[in-house]
Structure 1
Amino acid sequence: MSFSAKNYDFKGETCIELIAGDFRALIAPFNGSNVMKLENTALNIDILRNDLSLSPEELKAAAEVYGMPTLYLPNRLSHGDLKTSDAMYHFPCNDPLGNHLHGFLHKRCHTIDDMYVEGESAVAKTSYVYDENDEFFETFPVSFKAEFVFTLTADGLDYSFTLTNLSKVQMPYGVCNHIAFKAPFTNGGSGANVRLQVPIGDKWELSDTCIPTEKTLPLTRYDMMYKEGDMVPVLQDIDNDLYTAEMNELDGKPFYGVIVTDKVTGVRICYEVCDVMKYWIMWNDHGMKEFFCPEPMSWNIDAPNLSGDPAVTGYTELAPGESKTVTERIFVR
Structure 2
Amino acid sequence: MNTTQQIEWNGTPCIELCAGGYRAWIAYEIGANVIRFRDEERGMEIFRYREDNNAEHIKQSPEVWGLPTLYLPNRFADGVLKTSDAVYQLPVNEAAPYNNHIHGFLHKRAHTVVEHHADDNCAVLKTQYRYDENDPFFEYLPIRFLAEYTFTLSACGLEHKVRLTNLSDKMMPISVATHTTINTPFVDGGKEEDIRLTVPIGKRCELDERCLPTQRFIDLKLYDLEYKNGTKCPVLQDINNDMYFAEETELEGQSFYGAIVEDTASGKRICYQVSPEYKFWIIWNDRGFNGYFCPEPMTAMIDAPNLELPRETTGYREIRPHDTFEANQRFFTMD
Considering the TM-score relative to the shorter chain, is it more than 0.5?
yes
TM-score (norm: length of structure 1): 0.98
2:85–2:171 contact (8 Å) kept in structure 1:
yes
- Give the structure 1 partner of residue 148 of structure 2: 147
Partner of 2:235: 234
Residues 4-53 of structure 1: per-residue CA shift (max 9 Å, x gap)? 01101123332100001310000011110000000011111100001231
Give the distance between the partners of 2:105 and 2:187, measured in 1 at CA.
Answer: 32
Tell me the equivalent position of 1:17: 16
Q: What are the superposed Cα offsets for residues 259-308 of structure 1, whole Å, 9 maximum, x if unpaired?
A: 00000100110000000000000000000011000000000000010000
The SS at the match of 1:268 is: strand
Aligned to 1:63: 62
Q: Give per-residue Cα distances to partners, 1:67-93, cap 9 Å, x unaligned.
A: 000000121001100000000001111
Separation in structure 1 between the aligned mates of residue 185 and residue 12 of structure 2, nearest angstrom: 28
Alignment correspondent of 1:40: 39
Question: In structure 1, how many angstroms separate the alpha carbons of the residues matched to 2:18 and 2:25?
Answer: 9
Distance 1:99 1:263 in 2: 39
Could you tell me which runs of 5 or more consecutive residues in structure 2 were left unpaired when the two chains were aligned: none
Aligned to 1:6: 5
Counterpart of 2:47, as a letter, is L
Amino acid of the structure 1 residue aligned with 2:24:
A
Task: Name the SS for the 1:234 alignment partner.
Answer: coil
Matches within 5 A, 1:110-129: 110-129=111-130
Per-residue CA distance 1:141-200 (angstroms, 9 max, x = gap): 000000000000023101100000000000001100000001210111111000000000
- 2:88 aligned residue: 89
- Paired residue for 1:309? 310
Match of 2:327 in 1: 326
Q: Matches of 1:304 and 1:101 in 2, distance apart?
A: 14
Q: Number of residues paired by the alignment?
A: 332
| Residues 73, 176 of structure 2: 8 Å contact kept | yes
Residue ranges of structure 1 left out of the alignment (5+ in a row): none
Which secondary structure does the structure 2 equivalent of 1:100 belong to? Answer: strand
Distance (Å, rounded) in 1 between the aligned partners of 2:257 and 2:20: 26
Root-mean-square deviation (CA), in Å?
0.8
Q: Contact 2:67–2:179 (CA<8 Å) still a contact in 1? A: yes
Cα distance in 1 for partners of 2:170, 2:40 equals 47
Structure 1 letter corresponding to 2:319: L
Give identity over the alignment, percent: 47
The worse-fitting range, judged by mean Cα deviation, of 50-59 and 78-87 is: 50-59
Q: Give the letter for the 1:252 counterpart.
A: G
Three-state SS of the structure 2 residue aligned to 1:216 is strand
